[in-house]
Amino acid sequence: MSRIVYVNGEFLPEDQAKVSVFDRGFLMADGVYEVTTVIDGKLVDFDGHAARLVRSLGELDMDAPHSRDEWLAIHRELMHRNDLENGLIYLQVTRGATDRDFTWPEGLEQTVVLFTQAKNVTESPAAKRGISVISVPDQRWRRRDIKTVQLLYPSMAKMAAVRAGADDAWLVEDGFVTEGTSNNAYIVKGGRIVTRDLSHDILHGITRAAVLRYAREAQMEVVERPFTIEEAQAADEAFITSASSFVTPVVKIDGTTVGLGGPGPVAKRLREIYIDESRKAAV
């Protein structure tokens, strides 16, 4: 089945959509992206993703090509044209196309692409059984707070994890976990939730912000500080969050079983709360 995708103002069948070979997104990874989840035909945390997009663009000296309301209208039209009830919407903005050079002309026309991925987001086998992760050095650039399309290192890390028989990788820098390849990382010890504090070292997850807010509202204790792989292996629970995985338990780290080896009560409860609240607040 062919999808309808959005490219620079047009809704087109995916095999007719085109982007220039000179696009700086293609040649230089000069672009940013967002992934927003759709549950029951509605967008989860839309405003958070829209705000982070503006910030990412600004950090790279790019303007936002559309207003929040225009983005919302494009997302909704794309959902409608693809009959998307559950899944993801991927959005990418690049600086645009120009002859290859390290500098770029000011005021280039940006390239805007959106497409859908149908997926049963709420019923995840990984969330039911929990995932295993391996640790690898974090070799990404130093501005991980900007959601750029430079995903080669995270892709290689996840591929290494899958080849090693695991599900994903946690990235480690100076002895501490930064985050997962495409998610934020957490541990739970004695009922206390620990996750790395916000800085340029990690992506400021939209799901992270919501989950920590719900956790605090439910009187759970949250501590934002770095933790090591050893501390995670000795924790009662571990989990990840992202738009596509919500809250997903981590049950094995570098071959060591975490807690009782299955999804723990804190991760399960946070997943339930997150999905319930997201359904209510989706637009």
**What values do phi and psi take at 109, rounded to 5?**
-75, 120
Cα separation, 22 vs 172, whole angstroms: 35
Q: Which one, 94 or 242, has the nearer CB to ligand PDD?
A: 242
Distances (CA, A) of 249 to 48, 66, 163: 23, 36, 20
Cα within 13 Å of Cα(42), Cβ side = 12
Cα separation, 38 vs 5, whole angstroms: 16
| In the complex, minimum distance from the CB of residue 17 to ligand PDD, in angstroms, rounded to a whole number | 20
Q: Which one, 135 or 242, has the nearer CB to ligand PDD?
A: 242
Q: What is the residue type of 114?
A: L
In which residue are the tokens 């607040």 written?
281
| In the complex, minimum distance from the CB of residue 34 to ligand PDD, in angstroms, rounded to a whole number | 8
- Which of 147, 158, 252, 268 is catalytic? The answer is 147
Binding site for ligand PDD (CB under 6 A): 35, 179, 182-184, 203, 205-208, 241-244
Our answer to whether residue 147 is catalytic in this structure is yes
Q: Which one, 35 or 234, has the nearer CB to ligand PDD?
A: 35
| In the complex, minimum distance from the CB of residue 213 to ligand PDD, in angstroms, rounded to a whole number | 13
Cα separation, 91 vs 71, whole angstroms: 10
Nearest CA to 113 out of 78, 76, 150 is that of 78
Cα separation, 37 vs 280, whole angstroms: 14
Q: Which one, 203 or 258, has the nearer CB to ligand PDD?
A: 203
| In the complex, minimum distance from the CB of residue 105 to ligand PDD, in angstroms, rounded to a whole number | 29
Catalytically active residues are: 147
